Structure 1
Amino acid sequence: MEDRLLDKIAEPFNLQLPEYETLEAMIDGILPAVARFSEPNLLPEDSPLYVNSWVRMTDRPGATEVVMYRFQGYQQGEIRVVTDGEIGSKAYEVEESGDRIIVGESIMRDSFLYELSFIDDDFLILRRHGNLANIPHPYLFFCREAIGTRLTWNEALERLVDKYRNSQFPLLAVGLFVAAMIALLIYFR
């Protein structure tokens, strides 16, 4: 009986995400639920953008290489890009508002403007600025190196949702409910 009671209590937390075919579709599906947990911009010097090594996630079939990005400098500078050990570089610049970033070969050549969609200590999602109908792959999705090297893109996005799923339900209420159930079980024993 006790196992069934715990299963019923845990049921709301075991929700399954729908299956998504593409990275973009899954990001579009989960962003409304997790966006409020994002840091507001990229301006603080201790922002995860500058502290972490980021692994770029992709849903491209057959892509097995690990592409790691490391943002060097504060608000502008070089991005060290390591693809399966081969080192390259790109440039970046964070705009004054802190919610947009330019990424490319150089700031003025072969570069794109991205808007911050989500950032925390483990995940970074940037959306390309412009008419999304004209952009086939509008998102850059990154995970902290320890996560990105072990998981696929959909597993990483599920981990992002799981990270904040429990934050939406008042933990205190669950604790009180469990305490009340235990007290009732002890009292009627």
Structure 2
Amino acid sequence: MDDRLLDKIAEPFNLQLPEYATLEEMIESVLPAVAQFSEPNLLPEDSPLYTVNWVRMTDRPGATEVQLYTFQDYMRGEIRVVIDGKVDAQTYEVEESGERIIIGQSVMRDSFLYELAFLDEDFLLLRRHGNAANITERYLFFCREAIGTRLTWNEALERLVDKYRNSQFPLLAIGLVVAALIALMLYFR
């Protein structure tokens, strides 16, 4: 009987995400649940944008290369892009609001405007600005290097959800409920 009771209590924490066919589809589903835990903008100098080496995640079939992105300087500068050891560069500029960033070959040539969708010390999601119907690749999804080199895109997004799933439930309240249930079981024994 105790096992079934513990299974019932643990059930909300063992939620399984459905299978998603594309990166964009899964991001659209996951983002509303985790957006409240995001950094509000890219402005602080110690923002993870500038302090973390990011691995770009993709759902492109057959893509096995590791794409490492390092944002140099503060608010405007170079992005060092290393693809399986081959070093290249792009530029970026964070707008004054801190909520948008331009990424491309140069700020005014072959570049795109992205909006911050999510940022913490492990994950970075940028949403391309514009009409979604006209955009084929709507999101840039990055993970901290230690996560991005070990996991696939869907495993990384599951890790993002798992990271914040437990913060929605106050552990103290759950502990009190479990303690009360155990006390009741012992009392009526």
TM-score by length of 1: 0.97
Task: State the SS of the aligned residue for 2:116.
Answer: strand
Shift of the alpha carbon at 1:178? 1.2
Aligned to 1:53: 53
Shift of the alpha carbon at 1:94? 0.3
Alignment gaps of 5+ in structure 2: none
RMSD, matched Cα: 1.0
Runs of 4+ in 1 over 4 A off after TM superposition: none
TM-score by length of 2: 0.97
| In structure 2, C-alpha distance between the alignment counterparts of 1:82 and 1:137, rounded to whole Å | 20
Identity of aligned residues (%): 79
- Deviations 1:29-56, CA, capped at 9 Å, x for gaps: 1111111110100000010000100000
Aligned to 1:85: 85
- Deviations 1:136-158, CA, capped at 9 Å, x for gaps: 11100000001000100000001
Shift of the alpha carbon at 1:125? 0.2
Equivalent pairs counted in the alignment come to 189
| In structure 2, C-alpha distance between the alignment counterparts of 1:111 and 1:14, rounded to whole Å | 42
Alignment gaps of 5+ in structure 1: none
| In structure 1, C-alpha distance between the alignment counterparts of 2:131 and 2:38, rounded to whole Å | 23
| In structure 1, C-alpha distance between the alignment counterparts of 2:54 and 2:188, rounded to whole Å | 54
| In structure 2, C-alpha distance between the alignment counterparts of 1:109 and 1:173, rounded to whole Å | 54
Aligned to 1:116: 116
Aligned to 2:104: 104
Task: State the SS of the aligned residue for 1:40.
Answer: coil
| In structure 1, C-alpha distance between the alignment counterparts of 2:183 and 2:148, rounded to whole Å | 44
Q: Which amino acid aligns with 1:66?
A: V
